[in-house]
Amino acid sequence: MIDGHHPYIGGLFALGLSMDPGYITALAALGGAALGGFTSFATSWTTQRAQMNATRIESSKSRRQKLYKAFIDNASKIYGDALIHDNLELSGLIELYAILSRMRVLSSAAVIESADRVVRVITETYSQPNKSPIEIEKMIENGSVDLLKDFSEACREEFESNLRI
């Protein structure tokens, strides 16, 4: 015991030293300011990161939507041509393959597989006999003319799953 005090109780006071109350107040203020600053930084960083992530996801979604629209438009035109002509529409088919290649970079496996099936059916359709207007009407009635249905559903499922690509 030192001067009647236990050496571990009272910290500085046990050694006979005292601290000016102004220092305690100043240290508490500095500690509070540091904690407040760190909290503010952490909140800002988290918010900024979340905003950047949301922007990136939306940008990816927008790029894929444009790509899928171009694929659907081109595939529809070429498929319509394949139903009534024997001669392969080469420039349109090459453009369709270019779109498919861009999808391989940005899209899910299900979308790519479905798009690949669409292109195969189109190329096979050119080798088949031309369809008459009556045959095309029957295809419309029974739904077999809707070549892009599975592709569209795969795209919708990809968007609904909020795929991060």
Per-residue pLDDT of 30-83, as tens digits, reads 888 888 888 888 888 888 888 887 777 777 888 999 999 999 999 999 999 999
Confidence of residue 3 (pLDDT cuts 50, 70, 90): low
Residue type, 96: L
**Rounded to 5°, angle at Cα 108 from 104 and 109:** 80
Which of the two residues, 87 and 116, has the higher pLDDT score? 116
DSSP letter for each residue of 1-18: -BTTB-TTSSGGGGGT--
For the chain, percent of residues with pLDDT exceeding 70? 87
CB atoms within 10 A of CB 77: 14
With respect to residue 98, please indicate whether it lies within any of the assigned structural domains: yes
When pLDDT is averaged across residues 83-88 and rounded to a whole number, the result is 87
| pLDDT value of position 15 | 54
Q: What is the mean pLDDT of residues 114-128?
A: 93
Amino acid (one-letter) located at 31: G
Residue 128 is assigned to a structural domain of this protein? yes
CA–centroid distance for 52 within its chain: 12
The number of beta carbons lying within 10 Å of the beta carbon of residue 92 is 17
Residue 10 lies in a domain: no
Q: Using DSSP, how many helices (H) and how many strands (E) does the chain show?
A: 5, 0
Query: pLDDT digits over 136-146, tens only?
Result: 899 888 988 89
In a domain, residue 145? The reply is yes
Of the chain, the percentage scoring pLDDT greater than 90 comes to: 42
Q: What is the 3-state secondary structure (H, E, C) of 43-75?
A: HHHHHHHHHHHHHHHHHHHHHHHHHHHHHHHHH
Asked, for residue 143, whether it belongs to a domain, the answer is: yes
Exposure class string for 28-61: b at 16+ Cβ within 10 A, else e: eeeeeeeeeeeeeeeeeeeeeeeeeeeeeeeeeb
CB 100 within 8 A of CB 119: yes
Question: Does residue 16 fall inside a structural domain?
Answer: no
Question: For the chain, how many structural domains are there in total?
Answer: 1
Tell me how long the chain is: 165
* Segment 99-128 mean pLDDT: 93
Identify the domain containing residue 89 by its residue range. 59-160
In a domain, residue 74? The reply is yes
pLDDT higher than 80, residue 4 = no
